[in-house]
Amino acid sequence: MNEALWQEIQPWMLQIRRKIHQHPELGLNTPKTAALVEASLDELGVDHRRIIENGVLAQVGPKEGEALLLRADMDGLPVTEQTRLPFSSCEPNRMHACGHDAHTAMLLGAAYYLSRCESELTHPVTLMFQPGEEGPGGALPMIEAGVLSFPSVSRAVMAHVDSELPWGSIGVFSGPAMASPNDFVIKVFGQGGHAAHPQLSADAIVASSAIIQGCQTLVSREQNPVEPLVITFGTIHGGYRENVIADGVELTGTIRILSPDGMDAILERFVNMVEQIAQSYRTRAEVAISRGYPPLVADAGWTNEVEALLRRELGSQAVLRLPAPSMGAEDFAYIAQRVPATNLHVGVVGPDFVRGIHSSQFNLDERALMTGAKAYAAVALYL
Ligand SMILES: [Zn+2]
Ligand SMILES: [Zn+2]
């Protein structure tokens, strides 16, 4: 790659990252960030259009052929920044604590590089800038609006900062790589009465405690122990006072599963078990599950190809196979369901590192931006 060109790109990319960092936007509501992305693409002369309200699709390279998709997300988190950086967030209770500012800047850095050597591209490259990754999800609406269709995308790569890896490195993982988070609300209906006469009532609290205990056996007795599953009850509310038997309890929680194959079956068993335990205590339970993003499955063959290329372009010592998947979630999973896809874990730990992503003190080493941008560009040029 042309190192002199990268030296020209670096300050441009950093300045964009810092501008985005100062003005984080949340969820699908990222109009200023999307406008900054568009202005930067205009500067480069790269074609772009909005395909959902705040989702930008840009294109470089030939118009015909099977496209490679590169994705960056643009949204921040409702966190109050405590980094004391000179370019800290100016917005109260908003922070780019997950590094999406860096992802957007890296992909624009790659756009800069690719726009200068566009004639070398042998296939179209789709650059996807999406809102809402932290929820409610921007990838699916962008797919529905045609991000994979015009031109037709045949493989995809995303990058995400990794606060457990040193800057300059990139981690890869193939197979089920990130979990599906599914939230639930359980309402247990009993019959209230005097605490002194339990035989005349149906106690929703005792039924709920049996439900909480019983569901853990799905993890310990029904799930293959080498396939991760987490069932967490986060809240429990019910009852009136010490001498009244509770007629209703509400429980909420989350079920995180890594394997896409086992997902439907385990959710079905969960609902079944809750309903039947409730029944056996003479109560009734209603279970509502809101399905989260699917598990992110990185395609093994495509991940191998990307890994081999990055070893060649960035040096073998810069690229590592991660030892384990993550129970975190990622809506790029919807793209990985449709085309072979993989996730680049861009290491960001440097001397000023304090805490990891989603922390108010998260501070990435900006030298990592160059590694991420080069990786994006290399995949576009050579795969
Ligand atoms: Zn995040
Ligand atoms: Zn993130």
Residue of 293, 307, 330, 334 with catalytic role: 293
Among this protein's residues, is 113 annotated catalytic? no
- pLDDT per residue rounded down to tens, the chain (383 residues): 999 999 999 999 999 999 999 999 999 999 999 999 999 999 999 999 999 999 999 999 999 999 999 999 999 999 999 999 999 999 999 999 999 999 999 999 999 999 999 999 999 999 999 999 999 999 999 999 999 998 999 999 999 999 999 999 999 999 999 999 999 999 999 999 999 999 999 999 999 999 999 999 999 999 999 999 999 999 999 999 999 999 999 999 999 999 888 889 999 999 999 999 999 999 999 999 999 999 999 999 999 999 999 999 999 999 999 999 998 999 999 999 999 999 999 999 999 999 999 999 999 999 999 999 999 999 999 99
What CATH class has 3-178+296-382?
alpha beta
Ligand 1 centre distance from Cα of residue 259 (Å): 20
Q: Quick one: CATH architecture of 180-290?
A: 2-Layer Sandwich (3.30)
C-alpha 76 to ligand 1 mean position (Å): 8
74 alpha carbon, distance to own chain's centre: 12
Domain boundaries along the sequence of the chain: 3-178+296-382, 180-290
The answer for residues whose C-beta is within 8 angstroms of residue 252's C-beta and 6 or more apart is 183, 184, 185, 186, 233, 234, 235
Shortest-distance ligand to the CA of residue 343:
2
**Whether 281 is catalytic:** no
d(CA 11, ligand 2 centre) in Å: 23
Q: Is 226 exposed, middle or buried (0-12, 13-18, 19+ CB in 10 A)?
A: exposed
Q: How far is Cα 346 from Cα 156, in angstroms, rounded to an integer?
A: 16
Q: How far is the CA of 330 from the centre of ligand 2 (A)?
A: 7
